[in-house]
């Protein structure tokens, strides 16, 4: 009979201690939520898989208090230049200009193993988190009271863990997803590619491009990414008739790298053949069980959003679990996790697929037509397109009924001038809970509305505590005009910001703000 690891039931059990699982465990632990996390591997995988992150991730690391630890492993992402059939530039992806909207470099490359190690350390630093490694999930059941995980150790012994909720962060071949009976929807992308990571030397570096490159070559579409330091990555399509296993050997990898490098120019760090997919879970929740990260979705790597997507899942679900477990929100609030993340991931994956089709067109005539169309659209002058412009807004879930282009987008994080003469980022001053941010020209009636809501909160546990700040006051005196420009652009005077920094709703009048705050209270109580 299986041994129960703990007599008490955990609030949340997480299967998988990769980046998504580690972030989830850390966020839950920081809220004092009793969390169990397990993984079959004892150590962080010592080779890079993800290579790109964005400013939303850097903002999260800041919130977790580990930004300074992670910073040495980050570097700004260079532009990505797209070359067409005849070697001409047909597209260029860049980053938004400073001042940066989240006060972090918008796109970065990073070294995954040490960053993942820091995420694990953060999770382990919380007393509420129990970590058990070397365990594999063999069965998962649930009833009206809890879910039960049956786990097998490396010596064959089994144990059981009970939890109110379970999050499957156990990768593309997720056992949690299979045990929960959750199917994947195929969005129609399936191609074999070779991924090669090289630590180049000075001789090799001199041969390589100074920006990242998308080679939109019908004969062999390829991607070149400039990683941190001397790390360089190639993603090279595998042609029909080629053996993916043979290409994933050192000999095969060097053969495909021949247009750029020889073995004298560096050393192989990793070479692996993959099938790039576009898959999204049909449902993200089955009762007490949720899926997140690669267990919930897989997408081609053309925008470097794989790890970002998984971390967004963790952040979205964890603040809602805290609302349900600690603040009286309805359990059905958790249904909004799947509604929000599935729509967002599907939209972004569709956009990534579109970029992928630009890169991977195999018909020469169609590729030339593609090149001509892209050049015609920009009048023959290729202008940089910020990667951030591809990021969609939330379109479903816990959002105000009144639609607006700003609703569901990420609220900016300006750099603030403090009364003591120092500077700080907004989240370090206001925190990361529910916030109402007012423009500098919002009248007294806006402030009165939020004060009334705060009084109402003290009588109703499910209502969120609101931090209110008005632009131009000592509490919110920005240094670079990011927020002032944002309010002017969107023509509003108030924004209700969720704990994950996404905008619940915006309003141009105090009456509309009051209506949205009332709507929010009902949404959390009756979700």
516 touches 402 (CB < 8 A)? yes
Rounded CA gap, 311 and 155, in Å? 32
Encode burial over 402-439: b for 16+ CB neighbours within 10 A, e otherwise.
Answer: eebebbbbbbbbbebbeeeeeeebbbeebebebbbbbb
pLDDT in tens, 405-420: 999 999 999 999 999 9
Question: Stretch 310-339: mean pLDDT, rounded?
Answer: 96
For residue 226, list its beta bridge partners. 232
Mean of per-residue pLDDT scores for the chain = 94
The band of 526, judged by pLDDT with boundaries at 50, 70 and 90, is low
Angstrom distance (rounded) from CA 353 to CA 485:
32
76-128 pLDDT, tens per residue? 999 999 999 999 999 999 988 899 999 999 999 999 999 999 999 999 999 99
What domains can you pick out in the chain, each with its CATH number?
3-72+109-184+279-355 (3.50.50.60), 415-526 (3.40.30.10)
Residues whose CB falls within 8 Å of the CB of residue 133, separated by 6 or more in sequence, listed in order: 17, 38, 39, 40, 41, 42
For residue 390, pLDDT over 90 is answered with no
**How far from 1 is each of 134, 157, 261, 425, CA to CA, in Å?**
19, 9, 57, 53
**Arithmetic mean of pLDDT, 234-243:** 96
């Amino acid at each position: 009979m299986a041994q129960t690891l703990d007599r008490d039931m955990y609030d949340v059990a997480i299967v998988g201690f990769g980046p998504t699982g580690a972030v989830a465990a850390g966020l839950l632990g920081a809220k004092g939520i009793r969390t169990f996390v397990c993984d079959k591997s004892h150590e962080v995988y010592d080779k890079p898989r993800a290579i790109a992150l964005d400013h939303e991730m850097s903002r999260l690391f800041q919130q977790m208090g580990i930004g300074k630890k992670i910073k040495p492993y980050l570097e700004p992402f260079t532009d990505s230049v797209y070359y067409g059939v005849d070697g001409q530039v047909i597209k260029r992806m860049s980053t938004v200009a400073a001042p940066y909207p989240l006060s972090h470099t918008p796109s970065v490359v990073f070294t995954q193993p040490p960053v993942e190690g820091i995420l694990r350390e953060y999770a382990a630093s919380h007393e509420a988190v129990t970590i058990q490694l070397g365990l594999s999930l063999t069965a998962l059941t649930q009833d009206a009271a809890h879910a039960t995980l049956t786990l097998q150790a490396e010596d064959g012994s089994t144990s059981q863990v009970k939890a109110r909720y379970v999050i499957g962060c156990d990768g593309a071949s997720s056992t949690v997803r299979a045990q929960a009976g959750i199917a994947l929807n195929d969005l129609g992308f399936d191609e074999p590619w070779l991924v090669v990571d090289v630590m180049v030397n000075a001789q090799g570096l001199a041969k390589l491009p100074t920006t990242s490159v998308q080679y939109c070559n019908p004969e062999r579409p390829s991607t070149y990414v400039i990683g941190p330091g001397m790390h360089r990555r190639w993603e090279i399509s595998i042609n029909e008739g080629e053996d993916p296993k043979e290409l994933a050997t050192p000999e095969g990898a060097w053969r495909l790298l021949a247009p750029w490098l020889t073995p004298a120019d560096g050393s192989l760090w990793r070479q692996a053949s993959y099938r790039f997919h576009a898959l999204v879970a049909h449902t993200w929740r089955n009762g007490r069980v949720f899926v997140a990260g690669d267990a919930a979705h897989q997408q081609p790597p053309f925008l470097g959003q794989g790890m970002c997507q998984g971390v967004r899942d963790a952040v979205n679900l964890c603040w809602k679990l805290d609302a349900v477990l600690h603040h009286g929100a309805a359990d059905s609030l958790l249904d909004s996790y799947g509604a929000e993340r599935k729509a967002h991931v599907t939209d972004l994956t569709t956009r990534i697929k579109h970029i992928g089709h630009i890169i991977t067109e195999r018909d020469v005539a169609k590729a030339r037509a593609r090149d001509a169309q892209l050049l015609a659209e920009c009048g023959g002058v290729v202008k940089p397109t910020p990667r951030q412009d591809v990021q969609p807004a939330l379109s479903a879930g816990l959002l105000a009924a009144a639609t607006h282009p700003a609703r569901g987008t990420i609220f900016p994080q300006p750099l603030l001038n403090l009364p003591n003469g120092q500077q700080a980022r907004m989240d370090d001053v206001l925190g990361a809970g529910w916030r109402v941010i007012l423009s500098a020209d919002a009248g007294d009636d806006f402030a009165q509305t939020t004060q009334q809501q705060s009084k109402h909160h003290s009588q109703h546990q499910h209502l969120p505590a609101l931090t209110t700040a008005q632009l131009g006051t000592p509490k919110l005196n920005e240094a670079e005009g990011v927020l002032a420009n944002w309010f002017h652009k969107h023509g509003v005077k108030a924004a209700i910001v969720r704990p994950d920094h996404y905008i619940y709703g915006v309003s141009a009048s105090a009456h509309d703000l009051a209506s949205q705050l009332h709507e929010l209270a009902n949404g959390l109580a009756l979700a």
